[in-house]
Chain A
Amino acid sequence: MRHALFALFLLASPWGLLAQESQSGPLKQPPAANGSGGNIFVGTRGIDNADYLGLVSEYDTARQGLVPTVGGSFWNLNNGNYLEGEFQNRGDARDQQYKVKVDLNRWVQVTSYYVNFLHRLDNDPLDYMDAAKGSVVLRHDNFAPGVNYQPGWSQLKTEVKGVVPGATMLRWRASHRTMLDHGTMQARTLSKCANCHVVGTTKEVDQRMHEISGGVSLVTGKVRIDYDYTHRQFNERAEAPLNLYDRSVHPASALPVFDNRVQFDVRNGALPFNMVPDGRKTMHSLKGRVELPKDSLLSAAYTRGDVTNKFTGLAARTWAWNSSYTIPIKKRWAFNVRAKQLDVDSDDVFVDVVEQTTAGGPSAGRTYTQFYPDFGPADYIRQSVRARNTFSLKGELAGRIAKRTNLRTGYEFRQIDRPNFDALKTSINRVYASFSTRRSDTWQARVRYQFEQITDPFRYEHAAFQPVLQPFMSPGNVPFTGTQYFTMYRARQATLTQYPTLTNRVEPSFTWTPNARVSATVHYRWNRETNDQLNFSEWNRTVNTPGAEIWVSPLEKLSFTAAYTFHNERSNSLLVMPVYDG
């Protein structure tokens, strides 16, 4: 639907005029001649829907029946002062957008944009969970069946930019952005253990994000420096939903023998879940570029970001810098070297586990760690897997090797240090070459090849494949005396990943343009990724993606465009199915 309205809207849009440019001011801007224009559109939409709209019309109101539609635009240029406006309303408060643009003789520009639409979300019925074994039953309850979750999303963004009078090398900018997400959605949680109990209920959503930013630029003939600051606040005003968690009882006897395996249950009363914490983010950005002698170019950028969870007080910090130097080699070649560094640091979290005792059963009066001392301490420090230091260095040579024939080739080394995860250090060596030629006016060809060798890619060690631990019933035929989950998990031997150690990628394409009325392109992408460094298996993935496009215009005012793409992907991995009972 959006595409349809957009097409209608474009029919009388003044965007064609806006594309014009003038050379007589400090900022680039549209129309050159004084004048005004616009359009008004009044119409209606008649819509008929069937079945579930959550996927076929996820972001469209698509209201059943007839609804009015209005839209329009206006523009006026008077001696360099420009005003432009657009609006569109499709008969629903959650389906409208507005835009205003003001240009005061190119010294100050103001652009404000508002958009509003709904988002259809699923209401999972949960009624397909039919798993059961004897008295062990997976129970499910949807406390709000049949409710249509359609929160509305809106954004208002205003940007102002200008030039300092008397100092045109100084430019400034500021913006404000507000996003609102309001309505309801489904929230799910479950009680464990013994009988699993999955529940779904309605959760209120009232989220607001405010962002302000400002920046200045110094622009001279050969030097440009930009500084920007951004501050963002996120708040969820709605209360989190509550749930009464079931008590961990034996599925057959219903006795409370598993209390020391959970941290909370019905005795704690209704507890909040699916809570969205308030947050804050700030970012500083400094960029610079300078043209050096012999047409060489040097640029650099530094960014510092801070993200804080205002509910927990935990924070993450990001530092990023990059630098690039480009120098021409003779007339037809250029060499570029680029370095990047990204450092991410996140606060550690001390997880203080609530260790309950059990009222009855063999472990009565004891916590889990007291009954199973081999488990070790329950409390732990969670260190973030986001923390990392990434460095890359890339060199690229590009130029013309023959008439209408170009070559681009390069090498990149990248290293990722993760202080808190299994794959502590990953190294990537990448080489690539791209060859393109247009030796004839009727065809052009291009092929790109890339090879990567990766050492120690991201992986999960001890992820699967435990040996046979207990091929007999536990003594007394009770779950307390046999192998426990932690023993089983710690016995896993196989390392798994879906990241390769070797990749090969080839991308050829060919375009044929026999005359001004026909153009056809065929292209192919082949990508093969393998990892043979795992201890129990090999992982691999192969992707084949052929495609073609054709444009034909048999008559001056008749044209056809057709395209087809086939994506065929296959991956192979180790599959382990642990078998256990209890």
Chain B
Amino acid sequence: MMSYSVRNHTAFLAANYEPRTGTSLFTNIVFNDGRGSMGNINLNPALLTAGSPAGFDYIAVSELGRYSALSIGRTQQMYGINQQVVPGWTLSVVGYYANYRDRQPYLFDTNGRTAGVHAGLNYAF
């Protein structure tokens, strides 16, 4: 017998604040942590009626679950401000950060990070 387990944590936080007319602040933050692996592989060569094949290590194969382990961490964060400059004109600045971490790379390294600032002027008519 074997087991497969999955554990996934997801947390989300958002805040909005308007300290005065024409000014607003906001943020959105998401965290995700996911893990999965096989386990409880307990091969017992003593149960083999024909004996263990030469060169085949059943005890070592019981550790197979370690090679299947997946462990991913991910976050996306956004922080922004909208400031009315004059009536109809609003300046917007948003900072963004995203990070992907693979703690148990399987095929190749997929770790990555992107961050940036979006800024612009909006005119409403």
Instruction: Tell me how many residues of A have a C-beta within 8 Å of chain B.
Output: 61
Confirm or deny: B69 has a beta carbon within 8 angstroms of a beta carbon on chain A.
no
In the complex the two chains form, what is the Cα distance from A567 to B5 in whole Å?
10
- B51-72 CB contact bits vs A (8 Å, 1 = yes)? 1010010000100000000000
Bound-state Cα–Cα, A60 to B113, Å: 13
CB pair A4 B3 closer than 8 Å: no
Whether B111 contacts A51 by the Cβ 8 Å rule is yes
Minimal beta-carbon separation of A345 from chain B (angstroms): 35
Q: Mark A32-55, 1 if CB is under 8 A from B, else 0.
A: 000001111111111111111111
- Are the CB atoms of B112 and A37 closer together than 8 Å? no
The interface bits of chain A over 543-579 (1 if a CB of B lies within 8 angstroms of the residue's CB, else 0) are 0000000000000011111111111111111110101
Find residues 82-125 in chain B having any chain A CB closer than 8 Å to their own CB.
82, 90, 92, 94, 96, 98-100, 102, 107-125
User: Is B46 an interface residue when CB atoms closer than 8 A count as contact?
Assistant: no
Question: Is B112's CB under 8 angstroms from A52's CB?
Answer: yes
Q: Are B28 and A55 in contact (CB under 8 A)?
A: no
Contacts of B125 in A (CB 8 A): 37-40
State whether B112 touches A7 (Cβ < 8 A): no
Q: Which residue of B lies closest to A51 (CB)?
A: B112
CB distance from B83 to the nearest CB of A (A): 11
CB-CB under 8 A from A581, the residues of chain B are 53
A12 at the interface (CB under 8 A from B): yes
A40 to B125, CA, bound (A): 8
Indicate which residue in A11, A48, A559 contacts B90 across the interface (CB closer than 8 Å): A11
> Is B44 among interface residues, defined by CB-CB distance under 8 A?
no
Task: State A56–B1 Cα separation when bound (angstroms).
Answer: 36
Distance A564 CA – B76 CA, assembled complex (angstroms): 15
Residue in contact with A48 in the complex, picked from B1, B56, B111, B116, CB distance below 8 Å: B116
CB of A575 within 8 A of CB of B6, answer: no
Q: Which of B11, B13, B78, B109 contacts A51 (CB 8 A)?
A: B109
User: Which residue of chain B has the shortest Cβ distance to A124 in the bound complex?
Assistant: B107
A572–B40 Cα distance when bound, in Å, is 9
Contact check, B114 vs A48: say whether CB atoms are below 8 A apart.
yes
What sequence of 0s and 1s flags, for each residue 430-447 of chain A, a beta carbon within 8 Å of any chain B beta carbon?
Answer: 000000000000000000
CB-CB under 8 A from A62, the residues of chain B are 114, 116
- Cβ A44 vs Cβ B13 within 8 A: no
- Given known A-B contacts A4-B80, A39-B124, A572-B1, A564 and B113 have beta carbons under 8 A apart: no
Question: Would you give the shortest CB distance from A248 to chain B, in whole angstroms?
Answer: 25
* A51 B3 Cβ-Cβ under 8 A: no
Task: Determine which of B15, B76, B112 lies in contact with A53 in the assembled complex, contact meaning CB atoms within 8 Å.
Answer: B112
Instruction: Flag if B110 contacts A54 (CB, 8 Å).
Output: yes
B2 and chain A: residue at smallest CB distance: A575
Question: How far, in whole Å, are A567 and B56 apart by their CA atoms in the complex?
Answer: 37
Q: Which B residues lie within 8 Å of A45 (CB)?
A: 116-118
Complex Cα gap A234–B51 (Å): 56
18 A–B contacts, CB within 8 A, in A order: A8-B92, A47-B115, A52-B111, A55-B110, A124-B107, A557-B19, A559-B15, A559-B16, A561-B12, A561-B13, A564-B11, A565-B8, A566-B7, A567-B7, A568-B6, A569-B7, A570-B5, A572-B3
